[in-house]
């Protein structure tokens, strides 16, 4: 049963991807994507019920899986090298060669191939990741079906490029599942490279000049991460003589010698999770069609980076490296949230907020207490749901109004009430209690409170994120609005995915105490007593059920009051009494008695938070912090 489930989780997406590529009929492709998604989701839940396990796949037709992975790995690296030559990018060439040569030397002369290393290991962390990838990732793939159809209509393509698109999109899910389930570090490295390559292909999908440029940058920075990974892996093998990730983690606390390889592996995680100063590739990734952004930002790719840092956390607990990781993460959290305040491009706000939240998760890994690790896992789960939802909302809005600028979203409720409300739900689940993201943030802040620098950065970062979220939710409602607005029409799959993701973000938050006791506590250890849905420890309490129930009642009551207000008198918008008298016109009488249309826009505070103003300094400080972190490890 178990091997079957693993095959479905990792290899089914590969088979489905090939199917999507060759069976070039849109109906069959949609069916393949839907079926794969449903199976993946079911398998991920079944695996979650399975609990911790270790597994070695052995051989297939006389060849060991290990050699197959190695073979595929070199094939992939040479494909990347081909693209490096095609794109004429010197840096990528150097970075890829710096992976090929050490890896070849390592495989041929160092690795003892006689030693059996269990290829697959799963604990709660891996299984939660598999569930996040398979469920949220599949929902994003569903959304992509109607989205890509519209997208290609907008672009007036003669020949559909969807087969290739869905090939990489579906393959990505399998690669991610492989990555989080791998125990053999060579396997982990292989899947790490597959995600790099898939994201490169997906970012460049539209093949515009900017898409190619940004895809190249993504490949370059992630190849740099790959180099750090290869050297970290070889060094770790030199110290421990094992490819077994669990052995490497257990060897961590034994000596200071292990810190350097661990630091390099964390660095690889940082590049993949787009931490400052490597953020530019993820910001560039927003040129890709929306489902790609949603996938990269929520359940895959960046979560791979976070996963590696978090997976290794026990190995560097209590060391200087751990403190360095916490500082780097906290700094990213603050810096990216601050820059997000100055942005008006909806996708860019989301991108910066993603990097910022990943920083928070990495900071938790660095804090390295049971409490902080719990926070990190909770953040991974709920951030994925809310962020996927928000990206898909921006995609839907963009198709609806032709813009992703939040200034153009003033009064969106009048045009797209359903999407507007779901977007607001998405924003609130990112921002407010009793939802999961805030539960994680609460744990993070409380566990960081002993560290002066980290807590200051978290406090500032948390405040700046409130600014860009709250105003976005607010302006969607800006309109003189008294009557019910009829809901806009949406394709079934769009509505289904948006509703499902919003449902996951809200309903799963309600079950966060159960998630904790069933999945997180057995793995990381107990830090809270749960009674009646209240997280309690001598240090703090978070009453999930009571607050949830009271607020649900409050929302229902407020909605009833709102319904009752339908009979209230309408007031004209206040403009100092200078309103243009015609009804339905939002203008005032200006100079020369001519009407002036109302226009209000957000405060972007560019003199404090401007991207141009901050980026250079942020990168500089971040680089210094990384040097500090690695230097301390050496």
Q: How many of the chain's residues bind another protein (CB under 8 A)? A: 71
Binding segment toward another protein, per CB under 8 A, in 155-163, 169-177, 497-505, 550-558: 550-558
Q: Is residue 432 within the footprint of another protein (CB under 8 A)?
A: yes
Binding segment toward another protein, per CB under 8 A, in 143-151, 373-381, 424-432, 486-494: 424-432
| Least distance from another protein to the Cβ atom of residue 4, Å | 44
Q: Is residue 433 within the footprint of another protein (CB under 8 A)?
A: yes
DSSP state string for 574-615? PSTT-B-SSTT--EEE-GGG-EEE--------HHHH-HHHHH
Q: Is residue 582 within the footprint of another protein (CB under 8 A)?
A: no
CA distance 81 to 90: 10
Q: Is 19 exposed, middle or buried (0-12, 13-18, 19+ CB in 10 A)?
A: buried
Q: Is residue 336 within the footprint of another protein (CB under 8 A)?
A: no
Binding segment toward another protein, per CB under 8 A, in 20-28, 193-201, 303-311, 551-559: 551-559
In this structure, are residues 428 and 304 in contact, taking their beta carbons and an 8 Å threshold? Answer: no
Rounded to 5 degrees, what are φ and ψ at 344? -115, -10
Q: Is residue 210 within the footprint of another protein (CB under 8 A)?
A: no
When computed from its CA atoms, the radius of gyration of the chain, rounded to whole angstroms, is: 25
In three-state secondary structure terms, 292 is helix
Q: Is residue 589 within the footprint of another protein (CB under 8 A)?
A: no
Using CB under 8 A, which residues numbered 304 to 323 contact another protein? none
Using CB under 8 A, which residues numbered 342 to 361 contact another protein? none
One of 72, 157, 573, 616 touching another protein (CB under 8 A): 573
Binding track over 447-486 against another protein, x by CB under 8 A: --xx-x--xx-xxx-xxx-xx-xxx-xxx-xxxxxx----
Rounded to 5 degrees, what are φ and ψ at 59? -125, 160
Q: Is residue 583 within the footprint of another protein (CB under 8 A)?
A: no
Q: Is residue 590 within the footprint of another protein (CB under 8 A)?
A: no
| Least distance from another protein to the Cβ atom of residue 486, Å | 15
CA distance 344 to 347: 9
Rounded to 5 degrees, what are φ and ψ at 595? -70, 140
DSSP state string for 168-184? HHHHHHHHHHHHHHB-B
Q: Is residue 574 within the footprint of another protein (CB under 8 A)?
A: yes
Using CB under 8 A, which residues numbered 608 to 627 contact another protein? 608
Binding segment toward another protein, per CB under 8 A, in 87-95, 99-107, 320-328, 604-612: 604-612
Q: Is residue 549 within the footprint of another protein (CB under 8 A)?
A: no
CA distance 374 to 442: 11
Q: Indicate the residue among 162 and 602 with the shorter CB distance to another protein.
A: 602
Q: Is residue 438 within the footprint of another protein (CB under 8 A)?
A: yes
Could you tell me the two tokens for 300?
């895959």
Q: Indicate the residue among 234 and 406 with the shorter CB distance to another protein.
A: 406
Distances (CA, A) of 20 to 75, 143, 295, 619: 22, 16, 18, 40
Q: Is residue 581 within the footprint of another protein (CB under 8 A)?
A: no
Q: Is residue 38 within the footprint of another protein (CB under 8 A)?
A: no
Q: Is residue 547 within the footprint of another protein (CB under 8 A)?
A: yes
CA dihedral 14, 20, 23, 24 (to 10 degrees): -160
Q: Is residue 257 within the footprint of another protein (CB under 8 A)?
A: no
């Amino acid at each position: 049963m178990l091997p079957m489930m693993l095959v479905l989780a990792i290899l089914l997406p590969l088979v489905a991807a090939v199917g999507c590529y060759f069976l070039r009929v849109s109906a069959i492709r949609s069916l393949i994507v839907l079926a794969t998604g449903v199976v993946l989701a079911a398998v991920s839940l079944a695996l979650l019920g399975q609990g911790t396990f270790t597994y070695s796949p052995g051989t297939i037709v006389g060849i060991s899986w290990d050699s197959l992975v190695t073979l595929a790995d070199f094939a992939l690296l040479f494909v990347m090298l081909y693209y490096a030559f095609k794109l004429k990018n010197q840096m990528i060439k150097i970075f890829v060669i710096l992976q090929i040569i050490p890896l070849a030397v390592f495989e041929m002369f160092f690795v003892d191939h006689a030693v059996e290393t269990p290829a697959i290991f799963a604990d709660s962390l891996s299984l939660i990741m598999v569930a996040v990838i398979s469920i949220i990732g599949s929902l994003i793939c569903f959304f992509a079906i109607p989205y890509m159809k519209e997208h290609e209509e907008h672009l007036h393509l003669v020949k559909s490029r969807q087969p290739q698109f869905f090939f990489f999109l579906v393959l990505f899910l399998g690669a991610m599942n492989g990555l989080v389930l791998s125990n053999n570090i060579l396997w982990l490295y292989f899947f790490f490279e597959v995600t790099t390559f898939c994201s490169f292909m997906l970012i460049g999908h539209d093949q515009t000049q900017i898409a190619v440029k940004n895809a190249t940058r993504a490949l370059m920075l992630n190849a740099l991460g790959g180099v750090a990974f290869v050297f970290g892996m070889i060094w770790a093998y030199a110290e421990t003589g094992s490819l077994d990730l669990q052995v490497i983690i257990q060897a961590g606390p034994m000596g200071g010698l292990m810190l350097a390889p661990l630091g390099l592996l964390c660095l690889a995680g940082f590049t993949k999770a787009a931490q400052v100063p490597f953020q530019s590739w993820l910001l560039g990734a927003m040129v890709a069609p929306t489902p790609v952004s949603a996938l990269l930002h929520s359940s895959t790719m960046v979560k791979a980076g976070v996963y590696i840092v978090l997976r290794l956390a026990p190995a560097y607990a209590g060391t200087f490296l751990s403190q360095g990781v916490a500082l780097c993460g906290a700094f990213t959290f603050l810096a990216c949230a601050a820059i997000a305040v100055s942005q008006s491009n909806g996708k860019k706000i989301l991108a910066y907020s993603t990097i910022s939240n990943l920083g928070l998760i990495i900071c938790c890994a660095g804090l390295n207490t049971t409490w902080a690790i719990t926070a990190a896992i909770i953040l991974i789960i709920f951030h994925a749901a809310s962020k996927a939802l928000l990206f898909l909302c921006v995609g839907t809005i963009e198709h609806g109004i032709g813009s992703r600028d939040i200034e153009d979203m003033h009064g969106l409720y009048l045009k797209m009430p359903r999407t507007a409300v779901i977007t607001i739900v998405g924003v609130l689940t990112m921002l407010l209690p009793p939802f999961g993201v805030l539960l994680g943030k609460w744990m993070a802040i409380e566990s960081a409170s002993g560290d002066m620098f980290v807590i200051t950065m978290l406090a500032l970062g948390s405040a700046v994120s409130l600014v860009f979220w709250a105003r976005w939710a607010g302006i969607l409602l800006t309109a003189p609005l008294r009557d019910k607005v009829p809901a806009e029409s949406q394709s079934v799959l769009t509505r289904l995915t948006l509703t499902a993701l919003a449902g996951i973000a809200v309903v799963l938050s309600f079950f966060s105490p159960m998630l904790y006791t069933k999945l997180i506590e057995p793995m990381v250890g107990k830090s809270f007593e749960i009674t009646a849905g209240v997280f309690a420890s001598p240090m703090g309490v978070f009453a999930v059920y009571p607050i949830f129930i009271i607020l649900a009642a409050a929302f229902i009551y407020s909605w009833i009051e709102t319904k009752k207000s339908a009979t209230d008198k309408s007031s004209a918008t206040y403009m100092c009494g200078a309103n243009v008298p015609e009804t339905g016109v939002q203008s005032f009488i200006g100079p020369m008695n001519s009407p002036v249309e109302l226009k209000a826009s957000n405060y972007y505070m560019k003199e404090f938070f401007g991207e141009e103003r901050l980026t250079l300094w942020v990168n500089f400080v971040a680089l210094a912090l990384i040097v500090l972190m690695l230097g301390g490890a050496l």
